[in-house]
Structure 1
Amino acid sequence: MINMTIKELLEGYKSKMFSPVEVTRDYLDKIKNYNPQYNAFITVTEETALSSAYRIEENIMSNQEIGILQGVPISYKDSIDTKGIKTTSGSLINKNRIPTEDANVVKMLNKSGVVNLGKANMYEFGTGITSDNPFYGSIKNPWNTRYMAGGSSGGSAAAVAANLSMASIGTDAGGSIRVPSACCGVVGLKPTYDLIQMDGIMPLSWTLDHVGPITRNVEDLAIIMEALTKKPNVELGRDDLQDLKIGIPNQYFNEKIDEEVREIYQKAIREFEKLGVNFIAVDIPFASESINVASTIATAEAGYMHKDLRKTSLDLYGEAARETFTRSQSISSFEYIAALKSRDYMNQKLTELYEDIDILLTPTLPALTTKLGVDEVQFGKEKEKVGDCMIRYTCLFDITGHPALSIPCGATKNSMPVGLQLVANHFREDLLIKTAYFYEKEYLTDFYKKKNEIFKQV
């Protein structure tokens, strides 16, 4: 089933080619066999998953449909509450925490009939963008286990990339869906701010955090988004992109960038040009302030979120989380309010760009995926912290709340994936999905073949 899409899975259920129980057992066996290599899961919910699969199978056999995702095996980032299932947020502090209610996103997907395979590993409380976790072990990239999977939703992306889960739900306050999606060669969408409510999710920052899906392809993403938004599935069969206006940034998103990433990004631009799109050069000078603004807001709010536990259990946090909370205490109310004002300004100026363009096109990451444990990235003679580097092209859109999607656009010489970021105006997820689907159909066939060769054993 390595090449099976959600649509093909559902058609297989309908024709009785296989059953939800068979598929669930297959995925659980894969997790048992391969999770020790990737460390994508903190908790595997074998009993719950099989119970759901049996119930869904009975409904299918009696021709009762319970939702558009009936029998689809998925996973959740471990900061998302699941009733009766351990939810740690990747921290030792919550090692025994069992929520009594499902998060809003879990309730919605349960109504659509998903099977929950388990809770995905993550950076502790989402305070970092790598896949290092001091308590549950580092998440390893399925393309090459010497490399990180990205963060903080790294377990979600690794599970989907290795086909240990057909989809996973992650969160994104600075790039935490798109960064691991780019690192692991999968599709990740950060929807418009508050399109999908965060109720029942431990945020890093309530001002910046989003919840959204990570999938193996764009068609799967469209189906998951239909279940999450209750909006009819977007029409993926548009004939061409002739009238599409794509914005190419004049600055920032083409600066301090790895040359191999630049080459692959420029190749993607040429591919879109062959599809007949109209390119428009755009200025985004305010993007240069995005890391400072995002860091101020996220650090201050994270410190406040943990103010009580900090007093009694600071020594139980990992070193990186403790450093975040220490920094939060030095942020003044003036600096925090100034950052919120900048957020409003950035939102306004970015939204104005969409009077002239439909989609903004950037690389997802400025650098190649780094090896596990690497703290800095080299750009010529200049070094940059991995944490700043990996969110440099993504965090602006958490600040402004615009929907942003990462899709693979090629692989490096050492066979690691590179991501392409598409950004649309608020609530235009449909346009992102249509455009990404068309690009995927035209140019990613060879990429997916290569990926399937790498993961053919899974």
Structure 2
Amino acid sequence: MSAPHWLSATEIGQAFAAKTLSPVELVTALLARIEALDPKLNAFIRLDAEGAMQAAVQAQNEIAAGRSRGPLHGVPVGIKDIIDVAGLPTTAHSKILVGNVAKADAVVIQKLRQAGAIIMGKLSTHEFAIGGPSFDLPFPPARNPWNREHHPGGSSSGSGAGVAAGLFPLALGTDTGGSVRNPASACGIVGLKPTYGLVSRRGVFPLSFTLDHVGPMTRTVADNALLLDAIAGHDPADPGSAATPARKFGNLLDRGVRDLRVGFIRHFHERDLPAHPEVAAALEDVARVLQAEGAQVHTVTLPTLTEFAGINRVILCSEAWSIHAPWLRERPGDYGKLARRRLLPGAFMTAGDYVGAQRRRAEVIAAVEDRLRDYDVLLCASSMDPSSRMDDPDETARTYPRQARTPFNVTGHPALAMMSGLARSGLPVSVQFVGRYFEDATVLRVAAAYERATAWHKKKPPVV
């Protein structure tokens, strides 16, 4: 058996069934690893060691009594610190909310507890999920386990760093402009932004009501499907939630990609935002791998990244201002510099700007829908560059917007980012797969086929 900290959720379940590992042994091993590594990675804002061990004992007793709750029973999960966990602070990594203790679990946490998962604690994020790697906040920023001098992506930074470093096998992140897929790309893991409305956001501190998503972050595609199974479902109290039938998102993972039609959006990384050569080469290799596995790959076009980014910016800034305006007026100095700078433009957006962006949004949605009538999935870049150094704010500011994730927050289609190679620097590069509304299982199917045909998911970061 692999070291406990590198086991996938699927392998953990098998080990529990074979009685070669128990939930208490697993949590004990992970807590020791967290104690040794997290002071150098800063993935956690609040580790709940006592709560995790109590949950491990309960899971162990239930499993021993033959009362398994399913494949995530006894499996540890890390939680981004904008998601409420009852009794723990939800700080959003900000001085504004340092004393904010959640009174109830978010819906996704309720679902994880029902599935028997073990909540390990709250994880670092960019401030209010909109800042960046910042050193002027109450907690230090998370670092990339592939190279601690580089950022791990964001805003779900602690989720990405912790999963990649083997601190926990599963994590929840949120994604408004790419914040699940950015750390997945930077840290070499699998991050899915589900179809808009598939996962409830009730109990999650909002950034942009019509762009926000909660998504699973894992080391394998199969684990991503398992975590999505646990958290998906209609929530009538979330206005954005969709009433869709329950399904098993891993049902298609073994089917391969033979005869699937894949649309490759090359202009995103060739013309709109020319990518680092190693990123571009890795994307071409992904296309070759899928073709070798039997898929049909053809070049397609969509509106430009500039168009998508402009729509996203107006909507996000307008909706975020409606949330943060009172604090920005009364306590502007309690925000970090980056979050304040990114939130303030919302004060100058007009109703006309917002309505215009929403009208153009409908048009670009129609353009993506038109492509997805002819193709089962779309293939494109995620990040255009490997992650930059933490001590180089100018390079971080230059490279952070160089991405192709934002379009699918604007449209709401499911989008998954995963590792597609290692740059000569030793840092991960990535690919993104996009699917039709509520066909998240097909996106996972393509990702699983690529994962089986390559060995990138077996690579482990040096951590420290």
CA distance in 2, matches of 1:368, 1:2: 25
Which letter does structure 1 place at the counterpart of 2:97?
N
CA distance in 2, matches of 1:64, 1:240: 34
Q: Map 1:369-388 to 2 at 5 A.
A: 369-377=387-395, 385-388=398-401
The structure-2 alpha-carbon separation of the partners of 1:122 and 1:250, relative to structure 1 and needing over 3 Å to count, comes to closer
The alignment status of 1:243 with 2:259, answered yes or no, reads yes
CA distance in 1, matches of 2:249, 2:308: 33
Q: Map 1:13-92 to 2 at 5 A.
A: 13-92=16-95
Query: Which residue number in structure 2 is paired with residue 112 of structure 1?
Result: 115
The alignment status of 1:273 with 2:291, answered yes or no, reads yes
The structure-2 alpha-carbon separation of the partners of 1:221 and 1:42, relative to structure 1 and needing over 3 Å to count, comes to same
Q: Alignment partner of 2:37: what SS?
A: helix
Paired residues of 1:132 and 1:372 also in contact (CA < 8 A): no
Which letter does structure 1 place at the counterpart of 2:317?
T
Which residue, 173, 176, 180 being the options, matches 2:183? 180
Query: Which residue number in structure 2 is paired with residue 381 of structure 1?
Result: none
Paired residues of 1:67 and 1:113 also in contact (CA < 8 A): yes
Query: Which residue number in structure 2 is paired with residue 260 of structure 1?
Result: 278
The structure-2 alpha-carbon separation of the partners of 1:271 and 1:223, relative to structure 1 and needing over 3 Å to count, comes to same
The structure-2 alpha-carbon separation of the partners of 1:19 and 1:170, relative to structure 1 and needing over 3 Å to count, comes to same
Q: Map 1:25-424 to 2 at 5 A.
A: 25-128=28-131, 130=133, 134-229=137-232, 230-236=246-252, 238-255=254-271, 256-377=274-395, 385-389=398-402, 392-424=403-435
Q: Alignment partner of 1:385: what SS?
A: helix
CA distance in 2, matches of 1:107, 1:398: 25
Paired residues of 2:252 and 2:442 also in contact (CA < 8 A): no
Which letter does structure 1 place at the counterpart of 2:159?
S
Q: CA deviation at 1:376?
A: 3.8
Gaps of 5+ in 1: 379-383
CA distance in 2, matches of 1:161, 1:43: 18
Paired residues of 2:136 and 2:337 also in contact (CA < 8 A): no
CA distance in 1, matches of 2:136, 2:169: 24
CA distance in 2, matches of 1:216, 1:133: 31
Which letter does structure 2 place at the counterpart of 1:313?
R
**1:18-53 C-alpha deviation (Å, 9 max, x unpaired):** 211111111111111110010001000011111111
Q: Alignment partner of 1:246: what SS?
A: strand
CA distance in 2, matches of 1:129, 1:347: 28
The structure-2 alpha-carbon separation of the partners of 1:144 and 1:172, relative to structure 1 and needing over 3 Å to count, comes to same
Paired residues of 1:129 and 1:179 also in contact (CA < 8 A): no
Q: CA deviation at 1:119?
A: 0.5
CA distance in 2, matches of 1:313, 1:287: 34
CA distance in 1, matches of 2:404, 2:115: 34
Q: CA deviation at 1:410?
A: 0.6
The structure-2 alpha-carbon separation of the partners of 1:404 and 1:131, relative to structure 1 and needing over 3 Å to count, comes to farther
Q: CA deviation at 1:362?
A: 0.8
CA distance in 1, matches of 2:457, 2:449: 15
Paired residues of 1:252 and 1:288 also in contact (CA < 8 A): no
Q: CA deviation at 1:233?
A: 4.3
Q: CA deviation at 1:15?
A: 2.2
**1:223-269 C-alpha deviation (Å, 9 max, x unpaired):** 11111225224224535422110101252332321112111111221
Which letter does structure 1 place at the counterpart of 2:254?
R
Gaps of 5+ in 2: 233-245
RMSD (CA atoms) = 1.7
State the identity %. Answer: 31
Q: Alignment partner of 2:268: what SS?
A: coil
CA distance in 1, matches of 2:231, 2:458: 29
Q: CA deviation at 1:10?
A: 1.0
Length-normalised TM-score, structure 1: 0.94
Paired residues of 1:250 and 1:284 also in contact (CA < 8 A): no
Length-normalised TM-score, structure 2: 0.92
